[in-house]
Structure 1
Amino acid sequence: MGDATAEEKPQQPVKRRRGAARGRILNAAARRFYADGVAATGIDTITAEAGVAKMSLYNNFDSKADLVCAYLQARHEEWLDLYRRRLAEAQGPAAGVLAVFDAYADHADFAYEHGFRGCGLLNAAAELPTGHEGRTVVRRHKEQVEGLLAAHLRELLPGRDEQARSVAEHLAFLLEGAIVRAGLEGDGTRMRHARDLAASLLDAL
């Protein structure tokens, strides 16, 4: 019993250190990928910013491609958290639709190193080759966003599922266009304009 305990004790700090290193690496990668692009950001740059050895990166991620996918998934989860916070304050299905727009505006308002550059997921996908797993992560995010819009709209338009799907697609396109313009202009103003347009459309349904 004493020998087993002695063997187990050293393993716990190692686990905690690896967990902390993974978080530092992922945070550093998120900053550099968004500010400088995926292709322009090398492993050495990420490990230097994270303050870890290169071996630590490969202890936590199989490859740069694996790190890119983890970054994209983390950004998706970050957006979902913003959406859930907005949804908690929403009253009714129309407000649920607008919570999606508010979450995008909140993401645009983050204090990015070089200002807002548009959707980090789409920016990364544009650099990735066809077939890269990261593109699948991005596609699923966009599909989920449109699915959330459709779910709120089905509640708003009971028995009119086809119209709900059509309006959800329309609003998804509005979101994408607004975020591209917001990225070009460097702030979230276009996202707030898009929200106002969405609110007007919902009022007309």
Structure 2
Amino acid sequence: MTAAAARFYAQGVASTGIDVITADAGVAKMSLYNNFASKAELVAAYLEQRQEEFLALHRRRREALPTGARPGERALTVFDAYVEHAEAAAEFRGCGLLNAAGELATGDPGRDAVARHKAEVEDLLRDALTPRDGERGADDVGGLAEHLSLLLEGAMARAGLEGSTARLHRARRHAAILLAAS
């Protein structure tokens, strides 16, 4: 899985063959097929792994918040997890999920998985923005969550094209301004 993830992120899903993955991993092709029935299944596992990496970073950031953190502070943890995940890449190429989805045909289960993962990010924002026990919140939590999600994903797309996380840092600053005003 490590070899596949590195190749898929660096070179793309379509241009990475099973032979190069098994060579990188130092395993026989049958070893790979004992764990994954097809390349499509391996790609699905890669997409799940990428999302789980992000979710683990986000959980850690949410758990580190002080008790009573405000909705805006909770929402910014999503941006922080994106930045951390991006900065962990040896050579940043943007969102691994979106990169893979761009190579997959419409209707491919991998594209559907990426769509679900991106909806999950928006749900994390919506949950973060939902007022808790007497908190004041935004008038339109769903609309603000969607707005922040679009800001984040747009920044990720541009950051990937530029090979720099600077856009993600700016998006976080813009999000903080929006959240302070809501």
Q: How does the TM-score come out when normalised to structure 2?
A: 0.93
What's 1:139 paired with? 115
Given the superposition, is the C-alpha separation of residues 99 and 122 from structure 1 closer, same or farther in structure 2, using an over 3 Å criterion?
same
Q: State the match for 2:124 in structure 1.
A: 148
SS state at 1:155 partner:
coil
Matched-pair contact (CA < 8 Å) for 2:19–2:29: yes
SS of the residue corresponding to residue 30 of structure 2 reads helix
Indicate the structure whose relative CO is greater, using CA pairs within 8 Å and at least 6 residues apart. Answer: 2
Aligned-partner Cα distance in 1 for 2:137–2:167: 30
Q: Normalising by structure 1, report the TM-score.
A: 0.83
Distance 1:27 1:95 in 2: 33
What amino acid is the match of 2:21?
I
CA offsets 1:141-188 (integer angstroms, 9 cap, x no match): 101100010111112796878600000000000001100111112121
Runs of 4+ with deviation above 4 angstroms: 156-162
Q: 1:77-96 alignment to 2 at 5 Å?
A: 77-91=52-66, 92=69, 93-96=71-74
Task: Please say which structure displays the higher CA radius of gyration.
Answer: 1
Q: Does 1:165 align with 2:142?
A: yes
- Segments of structure 2 that go 5 or more residues without pairing to the other structure are none
For residues 15 and 57 of structure 2, what CA distance do their matches in structure 1 show?
28
Whether the 8 Å CA contact 2:36–2:42 is kept in 1: the answer is: yes
Structure 2 CA distance, aligned partners of 1:196 and 1:110?
Answer: 20
Which residue does 2:176 correspond to in 1? 199
Q: CA RMSD in A?
A: 1.7
- Partners of 1:159 and 1:110 lie apart in 2 by 35
Q: CA deviation at 1:110?
A: 1.2
Return the match for 1:106 from 68, 84, 88.
Answer: 84
**Counterparts of 1:177 and 1:161 in 2: how far apart (Å)?**
22
2:130 aligned partner, one-letter code: R
Distance 2:64 2:165 in 1: 21
Distance 1:175 1:127 in 2: 21
